[in-house]
Amino acid sequence: MPHAASDGARIYYEETGKGVPIIFVHEFGGDHRSWDDQMRHFGRGWRAITMAARGYPRSDAPKGDEHYGQEFFNRDVIAVLDATGVDKAHVVGLSMGGYAALMVAAKFPSRVLSCVAAGAGSGSNLDTRGQFVEECRKTAAGFDKAGRIDANAMGLSPTRVHLHNKDPIGWKTFVDNLAEHDAHAAASTLRKVQASRPSLYELDSELRSITAPTLLLVGDEDEPCLDVNLWMKRRMPNAQLGVLPGSGHAINLEEPALFNALVERFLVDVERATWRRRDPRAVAGGVLTSLGKNED
């Protein structure tokens, strides 16, 4: 099984297809298998790569919180690119992986062709930030104490019931895979990644600095992430925003065909140089600004 060496851990990865590289970065509740639909779809026309973050099945799960954190996660993505001989890739991430995709685009711009951040921003709301951090720490302590993850309960959380309603078979696969995760590594990830990373609202300059074409995607039922994605779209002149109707958090699992179509259209636009930054004329000072100028 292929692994990439990265800061004291071996990071598992898989790949399929040929062409321009895409690397898929999973969410907290997922792993490399979460991207099976995307690997099959994009492997037909791209070199599709998926990875398991440190602490997740087939990657090393080092003991101790000191081996986990957002910076580790960012470098793990780069380590996989290095191991596969990829200089630059499209980076596609969901939730925790979407946050990582944005950070890789900001901190390693020379390695990124484009960035797709889906469902990014959990815990960013500053009004409820303290509650989010406390819940992460409490859940982590529960994982450590029980030595297992209550995958069924996580699968029925408010932003995940949509997958259960739409695709019971897919939901069961998600839950079964989640139950295989190392509970202690998941606890470390909750404490050192989820609870310790800055809110996206605190990263205004980093987000504005991203030069790679960026596609933000979010489900309209993903309440913790809706507002921050609109906020990011308004501040990133190189970002487009897609909202998937009737969808929760794991939009690549809930709506794989729509997710794939939106991402593919974006990637094709980037590769044929027809993707455009926001036209400054579209940022009007008032509702009737454009009309008034046209009449003059």
pLDDT digits (tens, 9 = 90+) for 203-220: 999 999 999 999 999 999
> Does position 278 have pLDDT exceeding 60, yes or no?
yes
Q: Enter the pTM of the model.
A: 0.94
Fold of 3-122+198-295: Rossmann fold (3.40.50)
CA pair distance 58, 42, nearest whole angstrom: 22
pLDDT digits (tens, 9 = 90+) for 47-76: 999 999 999 999 999 999 999 999 999 999
User: At CB < 8 A and 24+ separation, what contacts does 170-173 make?
Assistant: 170/253
CA pair distance 274, 262, nearest whole angstrom: 15
Q: How many CB atoms lie within 10 A of CB 246?
A: 12
* Average pLDDT of every residue of the chain: 95
In percent, how much of the chain has pLDDT > 70? 96
Domain boundaries, the chain: 3-122+198-295
Please choose, from the candidates 132, 104, 120, 65, the residue with its C-alpha nearest in 3D space to the C-alpha of residue 210: 104
